[in-house]
Amino acid sequence: MEEAIYKGDIILYEETKYEVIELDGDELKLVDTSGNHKTVKLSIASGKIINGIEIIESYSEKKLKEAKSRLAIIKPLIGKKGSRKEVEELSEKSGISTATLYRWLKKYKETELMTSLVPEDRSGGKGKSRLDSDKDEIIDRNIEKHYLKSQRKSIKQVHLEIQLECRERGLGAPHYNTVRRRVLALSELERVKHRLGRAAARKKFSPKVSSFPDSLFPLSSVQIDHTPLDIIVVDEKYREPIGRPWLTLAIDTYSRMVVGFYIGFESPNAMSVGLCISQAILPKEEYLAQNEIYSLWPCHGKIRCIHMDNAMEFRSKMLEHACLEYQIDINWRPVKVPEYGGMIERLLGTFSKELHQLEGTTFNKYLNRREYDSEKRAVFTYSEIEKWILTYIVEVYHQKLHLGINTSPINKWREGIIGTDEIVGVGYQPVLADKRKVLLDFMPFEFRTIQDYGVLVDGIYYYSDILRKWINSLDVKSGKLRAKKKFKFKRDPRDISVLYFLDPELKEYFPVPYRNTSHPPMTKWELKAIKDELAKRGMQVINEDAIFDAYKRLREIEDRSLKQTKKARRLDEVKNKQKGHKKIINPTISKMIEVDDDIFQVHESFEDIDDGSSRKQ
């Protein structure tokens, strides 16, 4: 329908009602209800509003009054972003639901005309309401109050609330289907955001980018994270279940190459993170040869930036100092934004799926596991599962097509290093000369004073002539009289027979062995188990002699248990064959096996590795 303006028409201009008193070319001469005159330029095309002019003669005074009232209500929000808090405050003040306020704002912003707020005729029909405005308001308000909340009430419960309010106001309640259609008309984004939370809405509706912002070239950006492996591991000697190990994994976001990993039974800690990063930095040829793998794993060199989540093990002093030493920037993942770690988490999920094909898998869901006895079916030792994962990384994952980069990770790595016709490669990084220093830099540290006897750590004495110069050194910077200076020592938790002393002048690490070199090496976990056992026996003061005497007894029990357990298993196997494979437990055998279980129980109770934050004398 074509629109035209004639003398005598009632029009709306700049939110004021005028009568057209004269047409002069492209000019309109107008007069308002107060007798004020105004001249405006006119340019109107068929069916369009131009220059902010709209013919409103067809609108009743009642509708125009309602539109003006609505405009007055939303005026404080016009020209602003209109935060949720501001809209809620206006809703509380005006008594209009936030859903209605948002709808009015949307309509007004489309044309910036008051008439956009004129109430629509309730003619019914598909997609239109046949209800009066009071019932509409009640429905909107209750949907917002009860349905769009984290309590997540059902549509039936919302309909009941609407019935109660309509009854109180003497109105007929709308049918359940009316309310249901109104709820289903809401966008899925709005429903998820209000009922499940913003994080769930962001996860479901935000676009999934295939690249990471810092992925400019190999080792420009690395993501690191942990996961418990879905498989039960058995011990090397008895082939008995000892639990699920943890996997710490680092991935290059440019090429998707795995640059380092670490498997351990302790919960994620500073040591597992440090060992993973040091492997990422160092060459892998020696490690591959030890495991009889002859494929290439060419990743090595300094990392520019590491992206990690906010877990405690990623915020240790050791990690902070080591990354500073190698000029590695640390970027923390924003809290409650898991998609920032999407690459590493998808890769960890891939590993879990592959492990579900192996004997001893725990699966990841009870329904998948059903009657599958993971411990009974377990066959992989720690070293075997480590070799399996290493083989999968180097010979399978690195060689497969990765849809995110449209090539294999190994090819993408080569492109970034050597270059292509389109891009210039960054070249190979030089191999860091001091491998031991890299390993030690990423291991937990402790500060200790150096006494006449050497250094005391966890009740064990260490000494070397390299310490002689620093014995009883004073800390002149502390401001305290006779305060002893503390020095940094590193210790590999897997072999505590040696400390590594960082000489403050030479900036090099020097080995400091047990003072009594006849003592056998042990792990930090074994030391903790021994000290716990001695404490249970009521020993108040635990000295070095008590520690190594207990360690010797544990070794004797272990050797004796190994021989007896092998004999018992052979006997048990014979009995099973004789009695239709029905297991019979001999009381003497049962008692002997309990000793074996106690030994393993000790090893399963190890605490997390100290991240170096302690400062004991």
**Per CATH, domain 1-58 is 3.30.300:** no
pLDDT above 70 (res 165): yes
Residues forming a β-bridge with 228: 246
Instruction: Return the structure tokens found at 417.
Output: 């290093």
The radius of gyration of the chain from alpha carbons, rounded to an integer in Å, stands at 37
Closest CA to 501 of 431, 445, 571, 453: 445
Judge whether residue 196 has pLDDT over 80: yes
CB 161 within 8 Å of CB 146: yes
CA 453 remoteness from chain centre: 47
Does 572 or 275 have the greater pLDDT score?
275
The identity of residue 517, as a single letter, is: T
In this structure, of 163-167, 268-272, 599-603, the range with the lowest mean pLDDT score is 599-603
**How far, in Å, CA of 509 to CA of 501, rounded?**
5
Cα-based angle 395, 388, 257 (whole degrees, multiple of 5): 45
Residues 109-118 have a mean pLDDT of 72
Would you say 330 and 323 are in contact if contact means Cβ atoms under 8 Å apart? yes
End-to-end CA distance of the chain: give it in Å, rounded: 91
Domain 222-418: what homologous superfamily?
Answer: Ribonuclease H-like superfamily/Ribonuclease H (3.30.420.10)
Give the H or E element holding residue 319: helix 317-325
Q: 560-569: long-range contacts (C-beta < 8 A, 24 or more apart)?
A: 561/592, 561/595, 561/596, 561/599, 562/237, 562/238, 564/592, 565/238, 565/592, 565/593, 565/596, 568/592, 568/593
Predicted local distance difference test score (pLDDT) of residue 544: 82
Beta strands in 310-431 (DSSP E): 329-332
3 state DSSP class of 96 = coil
Please state the domain extents for the chain.
1-58, 222-418, 435-516, 530-604
pLDDT at 574 over 50: no
Lowest mean pLDDT among 92-96, 276-280, 573-577, 590-594: 590-594
Neighbours of 543 (CB within 10 A): 13
Mean pLDDT computed over 557-574: 55
The mean per-residue pLDDT over the stretch 239-250 comes to: 84
Of the listed ranges 4-18, 23-37, 267-281, 514-528, the least confidently predicted one is 4-18
Does the CA dihedral 186-189-192-194 come out positive or negative? negative
Interacting residues of 57 by C-beta distance below 8 A, sequence separation 6+: 9, 10, 11
Residue 374 — pLDDT band, cuts 50, 70, 90?
low
Whether pLDDT at 604 is above 90: no
Q: Give the model's pLDDT for residue 349.
A: 76
Beta bridge partners of 455: 462
Name every residue whose Cβ is closer than 8 Å to that of residue 60 and which is 6 or more positions away in sequence: none
What is the dihedral sign for C-alpha 183, 184, 187, 189?
positive
Distances (CA, A) of 51 to 27, 108, 113, 272, 416: 12, 16, 11, 69, 57
Does residue 283 have a pLDDT over 80?
Answer: yes
Please name which of 510, 508, 485, 506 lies closest in space to residue 498, comparing C-alpha atoms.
510
Tokens of 519: 């003592």
Under 8 Å between Cβ of 480 and 540: no
